[in-house]
Chain A
């Protein structure tokens, strides 16, 4: 244990870390472009937005007020533990790294990703335990109080919140290659278990404030955790279901396999309302087998 340094963690520390990771991503995008490849601007925007959310939590108003205001702390927690990881996951940093690195390094990275330690760490169950369990430890032990007293405990807790949040979000809705990822049922179960742990913890904190937090303050913070968490979770659930919906497309078998993030800019296709099979212009493209479902038994009985 390092000796206690009273006072908050210097802001420059977080600024340097955030600037470094943002720059690293941009260097990756430049490397891919130089090689003649394409990288979607939306993914870069996700990475940038994730950094803005993290900066808001670590350097913005919630950070200043979090030491004495539990609601502000909870706002920071939602930003740093849920919104930041989701945006960072959607930015697909591993795919970018695999494309930007020289082949030998990229191969080493993919070996590392396929290895036992990372495979275990990125399993939805492990990630959900790390993420949800970490929160329970933080708020139901003396850790929350220690966070305010020791700057490096503060840094470690924040780092854990971001990393565990990232691992969990990547395990559920990750867009990066994950060859050993379990099927949608296991992922849905892990997601529901984590949502439940989050909701139970919020209600528990409502009745049992962490050490050093006033009852009224704990109630406001707990309700923010409950309803704010629900809102972020809704995005997570919709994205999870959307990925399942795309993967379960019956017409997918007729299309050639392709990477999730294309190497070239795809042609722009105007968006249209999806047509139910057999009603519109796609008649005859393998939908004949599905037609039975609409036909009522009019034939001989």
Chain B
């Protein structure tokens, strides 16, 4: 493939990987931000702290909160870096973003809500429909991101 031969001589490290990383970090940050802003603060569906939360749930929540806060900013700065190197690859970046956002939502919806019982999506309602909607949307996001990345790999930019 002539394209890869050319890239190998220039800057092999800064391109594909950094595009995916930048997108994934921003996607994770955006998903966490939507979770925090809409479900915690606007709708008041989620609780700030649920008395039934075990210690492991609190630790996992804190770590993810810190990491996603950092990831939002870091993802944007990585994007600025790609731009100044003129190395932005939209399919890879969007693929990473969808996987990051969907991955966070899936982790939140399965492990944090269900296994660690951190808090629930909503209180005093039948959760089945909420849980399924939450996790199916998450899985679709991850799937869409994966399709974009596979296509980008097959057809190198």
Report the nearest B residue to A206, measured CB to CB: B49
Which residues of chain B are within 8 angstroms of A61 by Cβ–Cβ distance?
none
Cβ–Cβ contact A207 & B87, under 8 A: no
For the complex, what is the distance from the CA of A197 to the CA of B53, rounded to whole Å?
A: 17
B74 interfacial by beta-carbon distance below 8 Å: yes
Q: Please report the number of residue pairs spanning A and B whose Cβ atoms sit closer than 8 angstroms.
A: 107
Q: What's the minimum C-beta distance from B16 to chain A, rounded to whole angstroms?
A: 10
Q: A200-B59, A204-B58 are in contact. Are A195 and B7 (CB under 8 A)?
A: no
Bin chain A's interface residue count. 35 or more
A297 and B2 contact, Cβ closer than 8 Å, known pairs A196-B62, A233-B69, A237-B70: yes
Is A277's CB under 8 angstroms from B70's CB?
no
0/1 per residue, B64-89, Cβ < 8 Å to A? Answer: 01110110011011001101111100
Majority-rule SS of B interface residues? helix
* Residue from the set B10, B80, B84, B156 with the largest chain A CB neighbour count within 10 Å: B84
Q: Are B11 and A188 interface neighbours, CB within 8 A? A: no
Q: How far is the CA of A276 from the CA of B79 in the complex (A)?
A: 11
Partner of B2, one of A204, A226, A300: A300
Contact of B70 among A191, A206, A226 (CB under 8 A): A191
How many whole Å from A90's CB to the nearest CB in chain B?
18
Are B70 and A192 touching (Cβ within 8 A)? yes
Bound-complex Cα distance A232 to B98 (A): 28
Inter-chain contact A223/B81, CB cutoff 8 Å: no
- Using CB atoms, name the residue of chain B closest to A244: B77
Chain B, 1-18, contact with A by CB distance < 8 Å: what is the 0/1 string? 011001100110001000
Q: List 5 A-B contacts (CB under 8 A).
A: A191-B70, A233-B69, A274-B84, A290-B87, A297-B3
